[in-house]
């Protein structure tokens, strides 16, 4: 949508109907968009002219039509492949996959050959052949078509999908290829994370007794800095829900200095909450959002 | 096995949930009188570590994830407590071990190492192990972030 509007503007500018001041209004983002459009369309004026008549719809049309073309193509491909295999395997009985309930079930009558390529990702395209809840695996040309190897192939693909998932999570996995290397990387990463937890817990155990000293060093500036970006009402309620679902037994352990110091600072538009825990939790929430933990932790 | 198009769910709650759980348990820990003694740092370290893992397990999955359940069960066993998990619907976990020799020995070796690292990985097949590892890694990194924040906040100025 945006593209079409910008195209129109660009065209108008080229027709010298729009003053260059318009681009000031657009702002830098708009100008970048325009540059993108320009590079995409080329500086060909004729193309812009052709776009003129189909401004609002052309983007949509191009998108949808390409999708449909893809669909049709896939169907055709499937049919072609089916025909090929038909010619190849004339003697064998053909059973379409959607008649099978489960792919791996050992049924005696399903001694059929499976054809085509694996459709696990394109289950939407050829609707007359497939239903939604089946795994449709088709054997490629020249590959074994018995049930075991197909199942194995399905399993391997599932595994590779999960490995890809892991690859996104673990940093630095892109350079290594192959399952073994990636597994090595993953193992190293998990080990390093666990070591980090241990190290940080060591640090915490050292710092823990010093908590009491930090309370007096509270600065009001930190408080205000924390409370300026207040959570919205919704998140505040969520926080309340969270707090209430985990009943705390140590509400009375909140230091009185906490409550005093909170009351001395201006809380802005935040409601004055009565219970100390709510204040505590809200400050927790704020601090975690802004990653500045020092002040709230000294509240404890 | 029927629907393979379901995307793998590795959602992890926000940092706040982790921090909440961790701080809760930390403050509980601090109330113990034996905890604040200046000696016996090793004990403190171990306790804090255990607290970190337990709070992470609670924050992340509760009892919905296999690794969190295994972690909680392990921790409870150490305290000689009995943990009762709600009985989940029995899923078809007994996959047919086919006669095919697809158990790649190299892969299995690595998977064995992974199983030792990830809690609860002993009885899982490789595909399930991968899912659990992904979720575990995400939760671990979140926990590490929370702890790092805490330590930074507490560092002497």
What number is the average pLDDT over the span B59-84? 78
Maximum CA extent, chain B? 64
Q: Residue B83 — very low, low, confident or very high, per pLDDT cuts 50/70/90?
A: low
- Say what the pLDDT of residue A24 is: 53
The predicted structure's pLDDT at residue A288: 45
To the nearest whole number, what is the mean pLDDT of chain B?
74
Decide: A167 and B8 in contact? Cβ < 8 Å: no
Q: Is the pTM of this model over 0.90?
A: no
Residues of A in contact with B147 (CB under 8 A): 197, 200-201, 204
Give the gap in angstroms from C-alpha A119 to the nearest C-alpha of chain B.
10
Q: What is the ipTM of this complex?
A: 0.83
C-alpha–C-alpha distance, residues B67 and B61, integer Å: 9
Residues of chain A with confidence (pLDDT) below 50: 18, 23, 34, 37, 41-75, 78, 80, 82, 88-130, 212-282, 284-300
Q: For the residues of A253-271, what is the DSSP string, one character each?
A: GS-HHHHHHHHHS--TTS-
Looking at residue A195, its pLDDT comes to 92
- Closest chain A residue to the Cα of B6, Cα to Cα: A133
- Kindly list the domain boundaries of chain B, sorted by start residue: 15-87+117-154
Q: Are A135 and B4 in contact (CB under 8 A)?
A: yes
Q: What ranges in A170-232 are assigned the alpha helix state H? A: 179-207, 211-214, 220-228
Nearest CA-CA partner of B60 in B137, B147, B155, B153: B137
Locate the domains of chain A by residue range.
Answer: 5-46, 148-226
Query: What is d(CA A1, CA A140) in angstroms, rounded to the nearest whole number?
Result: 41
List the one residue out of A79, A78, A82 whose CA is nearest residue A95: A82
Nearest-CB residue to A288 (from B16, B127, B130): B16
How close, in Å, is residue B119 to chain A by CA atoms? 11
Q: Nearest by CB to A166, which of B26, B134, B156? A: B134
- Among A31-40, B1-10, B109-118, name the most confident range: B109-118
pLDDT tens string A136-181: 666 667 667 788 888 888 888 888 888 888 888 888 777 777 778 8
Contact residues for A211 (Cβ-Cβ < 8 A; gap 6+)? A297, A298, A300, B30, B154
pLDDT at A192: 93
- Closest CB to A162: pick one of B8, B16, B45: B8
Signed CA dihedral, A59, A61, A62, A68: sign only: positive
Report the distance separating Cα B107 and Cα A222, nearest Å: 52
Residues B44 and A205 sit within 8 Å (Cβ to Cβ): yes
Average pLDDT over residues B85-96: 53
pLDDT of residue A54: 45
Rounded distance between C-alpha atoms, residue A247 and residue A79, angstroms: 63
Query: With contacts defined as CB-CB under 8 Å, which chain A residues touch B54?
Result: none
| Residue B31 confidence class, pLDDT cut points 50, 70, 90 | confident
Distance from the B69 Cα atom to the nearest Cα atom in chain A, whole angstroms? 18
């Amino acid at each position: 949508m945006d593209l079409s509007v910008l195209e129109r503007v660009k065209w108008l500018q080229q027709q010298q109907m729009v003053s260059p001041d318009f681009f000031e209004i657009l702002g830098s983002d708009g100008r970048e968009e325009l540059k993108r459009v320009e590079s995409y369309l080329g500086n060909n004026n004729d193309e812009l002219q052709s776009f003129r008549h189909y401004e609002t719809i052309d983007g949509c049309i191009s998108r949808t039509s390409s999708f449909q073309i893809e669909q049709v193509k896939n169907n055709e491909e499937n049919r072609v492949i089916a025909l090929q295999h038909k010619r190849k395997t004339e003697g064998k009985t053909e059973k379409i996959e959607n008649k099978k309930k489960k792919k791996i079930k050992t049924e005696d009558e399903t001694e059929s050959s499976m054809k085509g390529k694996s459709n696990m990702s394109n289950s939407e395209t050829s609707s007359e052949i497939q239903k939604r809840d089946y795994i449709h695996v088709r054997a490629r040309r020249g590959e074994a078509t018995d049930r075991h190897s197909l199942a194995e192939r399905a399993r391997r693909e599932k595994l590779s999908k999960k490995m890809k998932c892991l690859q996104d999570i673990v940093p630095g996995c892109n350079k290594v290829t192959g399952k073994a290397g990636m597994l090595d990387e993953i193992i190293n990463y998990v080990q390093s994370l666990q070591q980090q937890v241990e190290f940080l817990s060591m640090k915490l155990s050292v710092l823990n007794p010093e908590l009491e000293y930090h309370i007096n060093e509270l600065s009001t500036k930190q408080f205000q800095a924390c409370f300026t970006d207040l959570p919205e009402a919704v998140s505040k309620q969520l926080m309340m829900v969270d707090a209430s679902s985990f009943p705390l037994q140590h509400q009375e352990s909140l230091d009185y200095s906490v409550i005093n110091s909170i009351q001395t600072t201006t809380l802005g538009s935040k409601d004055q909450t009565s219970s100390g825990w709510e204040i505590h939790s809200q400050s927790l929430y704020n601090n975690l959002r802004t990653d500045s933990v020092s002040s709230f932790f000294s509240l404890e | 096995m029927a629907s393979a198009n379901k995307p793998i769910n590795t959602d992890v709650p926000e940092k706040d949930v982790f921090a909440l759980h961790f701080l809760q348990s930390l403050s509980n820990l601090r109330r113990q009188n034996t905890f604040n003694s200046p000696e016996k740092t090793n004990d403190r370290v171990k306790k804090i570590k255990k607290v970190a893992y337990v709070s992470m397990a609670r924050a992340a999955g509760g009892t919905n994830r296999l690794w969190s359940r295994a972690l909680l069960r392990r921790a409870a066993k150490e305290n000689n407590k009995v943990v009762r998990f709600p009985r989940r619907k029995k899923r078809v976990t007994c996959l047919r071990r086919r006669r095919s020799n697809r158990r790649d020995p190299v892969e299995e070796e690595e998977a064995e190492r992974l199983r030792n690292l990830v809690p609860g990985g002993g009885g899982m097949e490789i595909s399930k192990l991968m899912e659990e590892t992904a979720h575990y890694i995400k939760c671990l990194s979140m926990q590490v972030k929370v702890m790092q924040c805490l330590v930074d906040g507490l560092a002497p100025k």
